[in-house]
């Protein structure tokens, strides 16, 4: 694996909000081709088998006539994903503290996800800028159909952290080479453009930097294939040790 780092030195302002400089790592030639092909085939099989509209993408609930309803899709959040796991949806997650969550998370992942996927996590477990304090708390397969684009956005929900700008990264692994006429390129407000390569990954401070993906105009109508893992430092999660301590309580 070859690692290169690109850092911008000046922040930006977007609608009076400070946008921190891009801090990007590129990991080239991550796997031998035989292992890469196994990983790609496994990811594609999940895309073919499971529904790409999930509650874990949109997280929208409301109550009507004493009935709790989950909205798995709505027009304002038009995005297709396949969620491999999200640790924040596990009840035991909310009983953790910063002292327990690291061991609990890695134990859960080893026991509950595909061995090949766990191997991928292990590959990046202690690779710069991650170290043995970081947790890969969410994994989703990006599905960008032909003609679709991904609007400018920041990653992650801040409600899961105890810091406004937590130490967090988005690590995306690519399963196809970029074609100059097909789009699907990652871009930032500063003008940086990343052109995907298969068997290559990038890590960005996606919770601090606005970024998007331009339209997938693949001539063969194929979707853009990549998957992303959210990593964050264990000390920056909001984990008071019990779900009851996380509730808003109104005093009458």
pLDDT in tens, 131-145: 999 999 999 887 766
pLDDT, position 76: 43
pLDDT, position 79: 53
Of 3-12, 15-24, 49-58, 151-160, which gets the smallest average pLDDT? 49-58
pLDDT, position 249: 62
Structure confidence at residue 113 as a pLDDT band (50, 70, 90): very high
pLDDT, average across residues 74-96: 77
The top-level CATH class assigned to 2-62+69-246 is: mainly beta
DSSP the chain: -EEEEEE----EEETTEEEPPPEEEEEES-S-HHHHHHHHHHHHHHHHHS-S--HHHH-EEEEETTEEEEE---GGG--EEEEEEEGGGSGGGGG--TTTHHHHHHHHHHHHS-HHHHHHHHHHTTSTT--TTEEEEEEEEEEE-TT--EEEE--S-GGGBSSSS-SEEEEEEESS---TTTB--EEETTS-EE---TTEEEEE-TTTS-EEE--B--TT-PPEEEEEEEEEEGGGB---SSGGGGS-----
pLDDT in tens, 143-192: 766 667 677 888 888 888 998 889 999 999 999 887 777 777 888 988 89
The proportion of the chain whose per-residue pLDDT surpasses 70, expressed as a percent, equals 77
Over 80: is that where the pLDDT of 42 sits? Answer: yes
Over 70: is that where the pLDDT of 208 sits? Answer: yes
pLDDT, average across residues 101-120: 96
pLDDT, position 75: 45
Over 90: is that where the pLDDT of 111 sits? Answer: yes
pLDDT, position 60: 62
Residues belonging to the chain:
252
Q: Which is nearest to 10 in space by CA: 203, 212, 188?
A: 188
When computed from its CA atoms, the radius of gyration of the chain, rounded to whole angstroms, is 19
pLDDT, position 55: 45
Q: Which is nearest to 36 in space by CA: 46, 47, 25, 44?
A: 44
pLDDT in tens, 55-68: 455 556 667 667 76
More confident residue, 27 or 252: 27
pLDDT, position 44: 86
For the beta sheet containing 150-153, the strands, ordered from the edge strand earlier in sequence to the opposite edge, are 150-153, 211-213, 186-188, 193-194
Over 90: is that where the pLDDT of 116 sits? Answer: yes
pLDDT, position 14: 64
pLDDT, position 13: 67
């Amino acid at each position: 694996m070859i690692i290169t780092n690109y850092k911008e030195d000046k922040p930006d302002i977007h609608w009076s909000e400070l946008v921190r400089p891009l801090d990007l790592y590129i990991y080239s030639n991550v796997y031998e081709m035989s292992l890469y092909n196994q990983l790609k085939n496994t990811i594609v099989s999940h895309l073919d088998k499971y529904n790409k509209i999930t509650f874990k993408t949109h997280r929208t609930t409301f109550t009507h006539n004493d009935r709790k309803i989950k909205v798995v899709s709505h027009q304002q959040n038009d995005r297709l994903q396949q969620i491999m796991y999200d640790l924040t949806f596990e009840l035991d997650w909310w009983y953790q503290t910063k002292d327990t969550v690291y061991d609990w998370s890695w134990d859960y992942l080893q026991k509950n996800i595909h061995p090949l996927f766990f191997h991928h996590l292990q590959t990046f477990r202690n690779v710069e800028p991650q170290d043995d304090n970081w947790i890969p708390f969410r994994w989703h397969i990006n599905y960008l159909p032909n003609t679709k684009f991904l609007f400018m956005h920041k990653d992650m929900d801040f409600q899961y952290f105890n810091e406004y700008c937590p130490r967090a990264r988005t690590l995306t692994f690519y399963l196809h080479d970029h074609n100059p006429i097909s789009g699907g390129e990652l871009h930032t407000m500063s003008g940086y453009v990343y052109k995907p390569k298969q068997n290559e990954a990038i890590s960005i401070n996606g919770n601090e930097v606005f970024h998007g993906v331009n339209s997938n105009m693949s001539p063969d109508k194929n979707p853009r294939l990549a998957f992303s893992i959210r990593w964050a430092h264990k000390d920056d999660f909001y984990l008071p040790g019990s779900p009851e301590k996380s509730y808003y309580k109104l005093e009458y």
